[in-house]
Structure 1
Amino acid sequence: MTDGMLLCIGDIDLDRMIAVERLPAFDGKVSGRPLGDWPGGMAANVAMAAQRLGAPTRLLGLVGDDPAGGQVLAGLAGAGVDVSRCRSLAGCATFTSLVFLTDTGEKALVRVETPAFMPDPADITPDVMDGASYVHISYGSPALARAAVDRAAEAGVPVAMDLELADIPAHADALVRLLPRLDLLFVNRSMRAALDELWCPGENGPALVTTLGRDGARYEDGAQSLHAPGIAVTPKDTTGAGDCFAGAFLSARMAGAPVQGALAFANAAAALSTRAFGAQAALPTRPEVDALRARIAAAPPAAPSDNT
């Protein structure tokens, strides 16, 4: 049973998805076709993933007062996410992302930010932390991230952050000072490679979880390094798979799973999340994840290679 509630702080958006054969080169052009609009946003995706997997979640975010804002909040609330701390910004459009998707399921994104991109640091009032046993943030707004870490420290709540290359500022001194105050840091393969130049992970820093796509995921802390193999799937859309992984990993850890089990659980959840267009459209339930893991465990071992 999950212990406490996961508080997600950050962005809520509408993903506008466009199918392309390949991404355009600089000053180039490719043809595309619209696939549709789906709810997204890193914080919203993590919250929805954890909620569907059985972890109660609360979301602190911002939307515009347009139909898109009402649509995404209604979907989150309908799934059970507590959106009572989300605000609607009058006279403003909801933040959107343009998602260019190839037929292999890989993608590239352009954030079309509006004033409704991120909540204000002042929105993190003391009651927002009530009942939280973990906080998840990004570095999309450095001021918001600092405020979230400060408020979580006051409340004695651990903090996980998802860090992307796109969010690294030109002058990263403030980020480097913030990293040791985290408990857990989610990065992808590219960000993990860049992290050693930005900051030297050590025994006093956060545990690191690196998502490796089809190669699985790796966990590192001052005492151990663990790896969970990937799960072979034919993805339809990988948008939000990393967010699903984070929500699944946190929900598993909050339910008492050991690190190795949480890695395997999150890998399975992320693989299932790629089954349909849209970051939230195919987010799995716990029975679905458990069933996939059972099938993998029951599968016969691969035949040895004849290559010598």
Structure 2
Amino acid sequence: MIETIFRTVDVPAEHRFEAMRENMTNVHAPAHLSSAHAIDFSAEMRLVRLGRLCVWPATVQPARMWRTPRLIRQSDPEQYHLTLMLRGTKRCMLTGRQFGPHEMHMTDTSQPYEVEVVDDHGEIKMIGVEFPKALLPLPADQVNRVVNRRLPGQQGIGVLLTSFLTGLTRHTGCYRPSDGPRLETVLTDLFSAVLAHHLDAETALSPETPQRTLMLRIRSHIRQRLHDQELTPATVAAAHHISTSYLHRLFRNHAHDSDHEGTTVAAWIRHQRLEAARRDLADPAQHAIPVHHIGLRWGFSHHAAFTRAFRSVYGMPPRDYRHATCRPAGPAH
């Protein structure tokens, strides 16, 4: 997993807009770019490489971008682009459709398009993703039916994709380089599942994709309920209408998709709880919260059990870890 940052503020004012255009060409595809703010354009993009995928959260000023048949003939990386809007509006000039916050829009580098991003406050936030067509298990003629359509991100399977993208881009520092291929697989499967949902073409997906999608639902369910002391493999299985034995089999089969130690359901739950507690212990803003309260917050009903589990993973008791990593914030000056 490789991450780089592009900021127009690092470029002389008179060259910022051209630098932005060149950056978009390198990340996405050759395209024309215009903006009413071109004289002193402001933008910031973080480029996160996940194997063959590129994810780029960005903050930009209003701009218009279009790709012509001539540019397509000159260069075509043959990939699909997905935009998840976080703030502002994206407009597709060819269809007249608009896409607001938490909605997704897809374009094809092999087809002409013209889009613009606008916002009443002058600043747009979004996450872009570049998917090589060769990675998707769906035929191109089917995928083309979804191009330029609205893909909701607040309902159904779209929630899983938008949650994954926002979480991924918020916590890139937590991943290791070796996690890139795993995250590429998860993101590709999620994107494929969203497309299949809108195409009613689930049967065209590989047999593993529905299982991976179910695993993402299960892990999301667990993360949202780490505080619940009644969270067990049995309750997780019941919530997803599967048997406990099938749940254990899913975790064994997809152990390589996880960046956490332990392939059993119980071990994964414990690791998630310990990681959440570790983050809170290292947070200066929570220095005054008693250690046993943090353990209780994340599902450890007994302080002694929390201390033993924490020491076994991080090599020291939670109180010592807090003293070693967290200094209380001093008075403001």
TM-score over 0.5 for the pair = no
Larger Rg: 2
After TM superposition, the score normalised by the length of structure 2 is 0.27
